[in-house]
Amino acid sequence: MLHVSPQLSRSCLKPNPDRFRVTPQCVHYPRAIRWYALLLRRFIVEWSSDILAAGREATMGIGAFVGRFLSRQPESSQVRAAVEEHDFPDWEVVGESHYQDHLWSIVGEKWMADRRVRVAKPAALIPEPENPYDRNAVAVYVNGLITGYLSREDAAQHQPRIVARQAQIGRSVELPALIAGGGLREGGPGQLGVFLKHDPVAFGEAAPVKRSDPPMRTGLSDALATDEEDDSYALSWLATLPADPVRAIPALRALLNDERDVIDRHFMLSHLEDALYTSREAFTSALDEYDECCRTHDLEMEAIRAACMRKWLKVPWLDTYRQMCIRQAKAKRFDEALRWAERGLMVYGLDAARVEAVTDLMTRAAAYRARLAPAPKRAARPAAVVASPPQPELLTCVACGEGFERMPARGRKPTKCPKCRTGADA
pLDDT tens, the chain, 426 aa long: 334 344 433 334 334 444 334 344 444 445 455 545 555 655 554 454 444 444 433 433 444 333 333 333 333 444 444 444 444 447 878 998 899 888 888 887 554 556 677 888 899 999 999 999 999 999 999 999 999 999 888 888 888 989 999 898 889 999 888 888 877 666 666 788 888 888 787 877 766 655 555 666 677 777 666 655 555 567 778 888 888 999 999 999 999 998 888 988 999 999 999 999 999 999 999 999 999 999 999 999 999 999 999 888 999 989 999 999 999 999 999 999 999 999 999 999 999 998 999 999 999 999 999 999 887 777 777 777 777 788 888 888 888 888 888 888 887 888 888 888 877 665
Q: Compute the half-sphere exposure of residue 218: CA atoms within 13 Å on the CB side of its CA.
A: 19
Three-class SS string for 126-179? EECCCCCCCCCCEEEEECCEEEEEECHHHHHHHHHHHHHHHHHHCCCEEEEEEE
The CA distance from 106 to 104, in Å, is 5
Taking alpha carbons only, the member of 407, 379, 413 closest to residue 393 is: 407
d(CA 410, CA 389): 16
CA nearest neighbour of 188 among 71, 79, 104, 80: 104
**CB 293 within 8 Å of CB 270:** no
Q: Are 380 and 360 in contact (CB under 8 A)?
A: no
Domain spans, the chain:
10-70, 75-201, 220-372, 393-425
Q: What's the CA gap between 19 and 292, in Å, rounded?
A: 33
Choose among 55, 180, 197, 174: nearest CA to 124.
Answer: 174
Residue 76 near residue 243 (C-beta atoms within 8 A)? no
**CA 231 – CA 254 distance, rounded (Å):** 22
**Hey, what amino acid is at 410?**
R
Return the ∠ at Cα 178 (arms to 174 and 181), rounded to 5°.
Answer: 150
- Residue 374's contacts (CB-CB under 8 Å, 6 or more residues apart) are none
What is the structure's pLDDT at 424?
67
**219 close to 313: Cβ distance less than 8 angstroms:** no
Q: Alpha helices, DSSP H only, in 190-314?
A: 220-225, 245-258, 262-278, 286-299, 301-312
DSSP 209-243: PPPSSPPPSSSHHHHHHTTTT-TT---GGGGGS-S
Q: Residue 394: beta bridge partners?
A: 405
DSSP string, 383-404: PPPPPPPPPPEEEE-TTT--EE
Report the distance separating Cα 262 and Cα 191, nearest Å: 35
Q: Identify which of 346, 402, 341, 349 has the alpha carbon closest to the alpha carbon of residue 372.
A: 341
Look at residue 106 in the predicted model and tell me its pLDDT: 87
From residue 370, alpha-carbon distances to 155, 157, 335 in Å are 20, 18, 11
For the domain with range 75-201, which CATH number is right: 3.30.70, 3.30.750, 2.60.40, 3.40.1350?
3.30.70
